[in-house]
Structure 1
Amino acid sequence: MATQSAPILVTRPLAEGQAFAQALTARFGARVRPVLSPLLAPRDLTPLLPEGDYAAVVFTSAQAVHAARAMAARLPKLAWCVGRKTAEAATAAGFQSRSAEGDAEALVMAIAAAPPPGSILYLRGVDTASNILVKLRNIGLQAEETIVYIQEPQALMPQALALLQDPVDVIVPLFSPRTAQLFRAALPGETRARLHIAAMSGNVAEGLGDLPHAALTIASHPDAPAMLDAVETLLVRLPPP
């Protein structure tokens, strides 16, 4: 008898969601069935950069790196990045990247341990979970910021709504507090699915508020590999079909 695939509702922006769905399939094979329904869609902006000579830029997302490509000629080459994926994107874009291998706190600590010889420019989206600019200034570094992209909310797609209206177990990996809030708000009133949540951090879990769920696990590290581990934790705990 064939094993039934567990639906995994992937709500990341399309490019990141497709990559995570591929990672799910590569690791779990037929055990999972990714269902893509992005809750955010990025749109690059064309801001004026603050005047000044900058020694380094700071990225906390690959999307910020993508948005910065158009202005790369006006930016310093040294790029501090929150994690490995962001650093890989920055390297591909021509920056000399350094990864903090962690979260916002780890990033600020890494910069403080080896500060660049001059001002820092933080390139970010409209919505952020942590105020990097304030943290950098609080440790005595000169820093400015520029908003280079916006993430626009999207409605759940029909296949996601249909899934959530069935009385089935659904694993939902959530990568940011804002996505958690959007997911909670987007749930149909007739939701019958039993939700098994994999949250990237405690802050992400808090974004769910009092949303009812059958299970919740928090990733051991704020990155995609740890989120795959969190999904596996939920997978092995699912009740038999």
Structure 2
Amino acid sequence: MSAVKPVIILTRPAAQNARFAQAVAASGIEARIIEAPVTRIVPEPRTSNLEPAATAIFTSSYGVEHAPGGTGIAWCVGDRTAEVAATKGWQARSAGGDADALFKRICADLAGVEAQDTLVHYCGKETRGDLSERLSNVGISTQRSVVYRQEKQALSEDVHQVILGSNKAIFPVFSPNSAQRLVQQLPAGTKVDFVAISQATAQTLPTEMVRNVAVAKTPDAQSLIEALRLMV
């Protein structure tokens, strides 16, 4: 391990930062951890009046939290999102991966099913790719319901100074959109280390800002922590 203690800077919304910081600490990784959200989750005002869908799609735990509860099937992008959906009464099915894995899981589960309820994708205003359109294009009626929005938060000057003063600043990045929000705020001329949850996320990082990049073997927090362990 390097003699210089690495600095892991977490830039997800506050609740996710806190949960991931605990997981990193529990893993035994020795590093300074700074929580510096660049995104704030804000519910859409009308969400309290929404009727629950018969069947739902969730691509983040925030979609679950800001959507009505339900008792029908809910297809979820990963295990964490499925766990949250189950607590709200849904019959949660995890795709265990990313949006492409979720698309394939839904198509496989509904193959040969003739009578289908319209699926409702509860999501944020900012999404990557249109899952509802992809599903509708293959004959699975799906509509999008925006239940929250992502507002940008600025990195503090203190965090900028940490980045500029450390030769071992590491940023875990969990989605292409959040990676883009982060790099827009990094100081000019910065080169830092990234640990990306997927190749799609890694590919959004501008090469001029990348000193090193590692990619998790599977798109989940535990795999990302293992990639982070190799980086430190």
Q: TM-score, normalised by structure 1?
A: 0.86
Q: Who is 1:19 aligned against?
A: 19
Q: Check whether the contact 1:124–1:148 (CA below 8 A) recurs between aligned residues.
A: yes
Looking at structure 2, the residues matched to 26 and 203 of structure 1 have their Cα atoms a distance apart, in angstroms, of 28
Following superposition of structure 1 onto structure 2, how do residues 1-241 of structure 1 map, counting pairs within 5 Å? 4-29=4-29, 31-47=30-46, 54-68=53-67, 71-72=68-69, 75=70, 77-115=72-110, 117-189=116-188, 191=190, 194-235=191-232
Looking at structure 1, the residues matched to 172 and 143 of structure 2 have their Cα atoms a distance apart, in angstroms, of 33
Looking at structure 2, the residues matched to 106 and 55 of structure 1 have their Cα atoms a distance apart, in angstroms, of 22
Give how far 1:189 is off. Answer: 3.4
Looking at structure 1, the residues matched to 21 and 158 of structure 2 have their Cα atoms a distance apart, in angstroms, of 15
Identical residues among aligned pairs (%): 31
2:218 maps to amino acid? H
Structure 2 stretches of 5 or more lacking a match? none
Shift of the 32–53 alpha-carbon distance from structure 1 to 2, 3 Å rule, reads: closer
Shift of the 33–125 alpha-carbon distance from structure 1 to 2, 3 Å rule, reads: same
Give how far 1:33 is off. Answer: 1.4
Looking at structure 2, the residues matched to 227 and 76 of structure 1 have their Cα atoms a distance apart, in angstroms, of 32
Looking at structure 2, the residues matched to 186 and 133 of structure 1 have their Cα atoms a distance apart, in angstroms, of 31
Give how far 1:199 is off. Answer: 1.0
Q: Check whether the contact 2:47–2:66 (CA below 8 A) recurs between aligned residues.
A: no
Q: Give the CA RMSD over aligned residues.
A: 2.4
Q: Check whether the contact 1:165–1:190 (CA below 8 A) recurs between aligned residues.
A: no
Shift of the 118–57 alpha-carbon distance from structure 1 to 2, 3 Å rule, reads: same
Structure 1 stretches of 5 or more lacking a match? 236-241
Give how far 1:4 is off. Answer: 5.0
Q: Check whether the contact 2:5–2:168 (CA below 8 A) recurs between aligned residues.
A: no
1:108 maps to amino acid? F
Q: Who is 1:238 aligned against?
A: none
* Deviation >6 Å, runs of 4+: none
Q: Check whether the contact 2:10–2:35 (CA below 8 A) recurs between aligned residues.
A: yes
Give how far 1:93 is off. Answer: 1.7
Looking at structure 2, the residues matched to 109 and 85 of structure 1 have their Cα atoms a distance apart, in angstroms, of 19
2:66 maps to amino acid? A
Give how far 1:110 is off. Answer: 1.1
Looking at structure 1, the residues matched to 163 and 47 of structure 2 have their Cα atoms a distance apart, in angstroms, of 43
Number of residue pairs aligned between Structure 1 and Structure 2 = 227
Looking at structure 2, the residues matched to 139 and 52 of structure 1 have their Cα atoms a distance apart, in angstroms, of 26
